[in-house]
Amino acid sequence: MRLASSHLSAVAIARRVRAGEAGPLAAARLSLAAIARDEARVRAWSHVMPAARLEAMDPAGIAAGALAGVPLGIKDVIDVADMPTAFGVPALAPDAASFDACAVGMLRAAGAVPIGKTVTAEFAFKTPGPTRNPHAVGHTPGGSSSGSAAAVAAGMVPAALGTQTGGSMIRPAAFCGVVGFKPSFGRVFRDGMKLTCESLDAIGWYANDVEDAQAIADVLLGAPVSEAEGGRPLTIAVQLGNPRADLCSESRNEIARVCAALRAHGVQCVPVEAERETALLLQAHDVIMHYEFARSLAPVVERHGEALSAPLLRAVAHGLSIGAAEYLEMRAAQASLRHGWRALYGGADALLTPSTPGAAPLGLDHTGDASFNKIWSVLGWPCLHLPTAFNRAGLPLGMQLVGDWESDHALLSLGRKLHHLLVQQGE
């Protein structure tokens, strides 16, 4: 599931650098060349490191880490030292950050090379930036982590950081046809990130395959604790229903095809319903997100309201109208369901569910429907988008695997085990 054969694997880049088969800056040079070639079409970047600055870097600190020489894109709500953080609002004309965000610093310490800031929707909310879908430039790449997903899909970088409050990691992964991983809430340190929703915001990442996503997880989450392989058949719960979104026929057919492929390999696929819980969690997301978003952005609105979009201003006004009692009620619902995996899905190893209602819709003035993502953001459960096919128009299709609270490494391991079984032959 790669857009072009020129796409680089993060794991392969690091392996070659550590072995002395490639220079520590070689892959970053290729990334800058790819950006120069394709950025006018895709428009994924808000800031790109000048080539002279790259050449001035000390390669000695890059050559030995787990991500040695791997170029990265960083969503423009996360600080990178000596690069501006504009939050998707260029009119704010920010100064360059003095320090890396914690997650960026950890990746840099592992040898990765952050080469630029990727486009985000305005303050990671609704109003989209200029990024286009690399598969069809008239279609949305999703949001709010649009630039990060598109940069990976277009082969500009092998991996990029994004964030998710509602569906801002998984939806762009689905629309752009790349692997997207949102960890369990709180597993990645958020220091140096512009928080808009304290109880929901999570840093995630995009890659071309699950192996690369695992390599980044090993750095940001710590190495997994090895577990003995179980002898029982895998069980996947399958949840398709959502009270706020209708699943299109091609996505429904693709999930049916995937389930048939899983069953052919001995995996049990068990349909489940959680209508009451889904409705409650969607309500909780609306309340928690608006309440926290409004209070986070109120100082920005007060000082720079003229630079902000009407949808953002309306969201802040709505959030400020929500009372503390309603907010605390929804926080209590969030807490009560977060550890309810067994009650909802029994002993299932993971949940299979749509990432989006369908392929990327036409138009660049919106970022698509996040209804299939919001409940997992409220629960804080880890999510992994797996691209599996293309529709007749050449747009990616796929689905997400969801795991129990803090089962991040297990979910990635399962995704890596299953992904090659699910990709439609011939793609």
Say which of 168, 184, 251, 407 is annotated catalytic.
168
74, 167, 354, 387 from 359: Cα distances, Å: 25, 15, 11, 11
Handedness of CA 128, 393, 9, 354 (dihedral sign): positive
Sequential DSSP letters for 382-427? -EEEEEEEE-TTS-EEEEEEE--TT-HHHHHHHHHHHHHHHSPTT-
- In degrees, rounded to 5, the angle at the alpha carbon of residue 192 between the alpha carbons of residues 318 and 130 is 60
Given 9, 31, 46, 144, the catalytic residue: 144
Q: Which of 239, 235, 195, 197 is nearest to 344 (CA)?
A: 239
Is residue 417 annotated as part of the catalytic site, yes or no? no
Listing DSSP states for 89-136 in one string gives -GGG-PPBBSS--HHHHHHHHTT-EEEEEE--SGGGSSS--S---TT-
- 46 is known as an active-site residue: no
* Residue type for position 31: S
Sign (positive or negative) of CA dihedral 180, 184, 186, 189: negative
C-beta separation of 300 from 313 below 8 A = no
The answer to whether residues 386 and 176 touch, using CB atoms and an 8 Å cutoff, is no
**Identity of residue 97:** A
Per the annotation, the verdict on 144 as an active-site residue is yes
Residues 259 and 236: their CA atoms lie apart, in Å, by 9
Q: Say which of 9, 31, 46, 75 is annotated catalytic.
A: 75
For tokens 């899905």, the residue is 345
As annotated, the active-site residues are 75, 144, 168
